[in-house]
């Protein structure tokens, strides 16, 4: 398992300028939310365009992905931004998910999911609020009920039953 808390936050100045002007992540940070979520936009962890990651990616802070990720992404109550160059084949769990790049898989947005005009999503979305920009591509299903937004925890009873 790969923990993004351990990642160095070496976001380049150039990338910061892009993320501030384009993604506007501050707009989704609520004042009354816990301190751990009030991360300044410039300190969002990032996965750059040259990174190709396979596996289970977890963390407790916001993340921008401009590279390629395959597997599972679980940011719990935090924000995930897929950059223009981001290519994701994964099931994603986050508070807010903004897609500017390409994503194939299930999106579980506890608060909302947004697909921008450059975004392409193929898969199923579970979120109470889903929005699209003109030009966004989406094919799949959307469950707008307020359930199934968090990654299911392993069921101990099931495991015990399997062992038995």
Partner 1 sequence: MLPQLQPALSEYYSDNAEPLKTRIFESIWETFNQSNTTRTEKPKILDLGEAQPDSFNFYSGQAGYLTIADCIKPLSKLQWPEVENPNPILTKQIEEIIPPSKTQYDLILGWDSFNFIPSKILPFIHNHLLGFCTKKTLIHGFLFTSENRPVQPSSFKILDSDKMQHSVANDQVLQHTPLTPLAINKYMPNFKYARSVLMRSGLQEFVLTRK
Binding site for partner 1 (CB under 8 A): 129-134, 136-145
**Least separation in angstroms between CB 99 and partner 1:** 12
Buried-exposed string 15-50: b where 16+ CB fall within 10 A, e elsewhere: bbeebeeebebeebbeeeeeeebebebeebbbbebe
**Least separation in angstroms between CB 145 and partner 1:** 6
Question: Closer CB to partner 1, residue 32 or residue 134?
Answer: 134
Question: Closer CB to partner 1, residue 24 or residue 133?
Answer: 133
CA dihedral over 118, 123, 129, 130, signed as positive or negative:
positive
Q: Phi and psi (nearest 5°) for 43?
A: -105, 15
Taking the C-alpha atoms of residue 160 and residue 97, their distance in angstroms, rounded to an integer, is 35
Give the contacts of 16 (CB within 8 A, at least 6 positions apart): 41, 42
**Least separation in angstroms between CB 104 and partner 1:** 14
Question: Closer CB to partner 1, residue 76 or residue 137?
Answer: 137
Question: Closer CB to partner 1, residue 45 or residue 130?
Answer: 130
**Least separation in angstroms between CB 109 and partner 1:** 13
């Amino acid at each position: 398992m790969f923990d993004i808390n351990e990642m160095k936050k070496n976001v380049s100045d150039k990338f910061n300028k892009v993320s501030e002007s384009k993604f506007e992540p501050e707009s989704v940070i609520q004042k009354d939310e816990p301190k751990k979520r009030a991360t300044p936009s410039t300190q969002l962890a990032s996965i750059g365009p040259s990174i190709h990651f396979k596996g289970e990616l977890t963390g407790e802070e916001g993340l921008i992905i401009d590279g390629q990720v395959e597997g599972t992404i679980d940011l719990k109550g935090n924000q995930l931004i897929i950059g223009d160059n981001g290519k994701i084949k994964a099931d994603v769990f986050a508070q807010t998910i903004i897609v500017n790049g390409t994503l194939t898989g299930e999106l579980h947005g506890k608060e909302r999911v947004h697909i921008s005009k450059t975004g392409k999503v193929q898969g199923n979305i579970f979120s109470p609020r889903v929005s699209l920009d003109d030009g966004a591509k989406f094919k799949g299903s959307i469950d707008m009920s307020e359930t199934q937004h968090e990654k299911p925890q392993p069921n101990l009873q099931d495991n015990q039953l399997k062992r038995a």
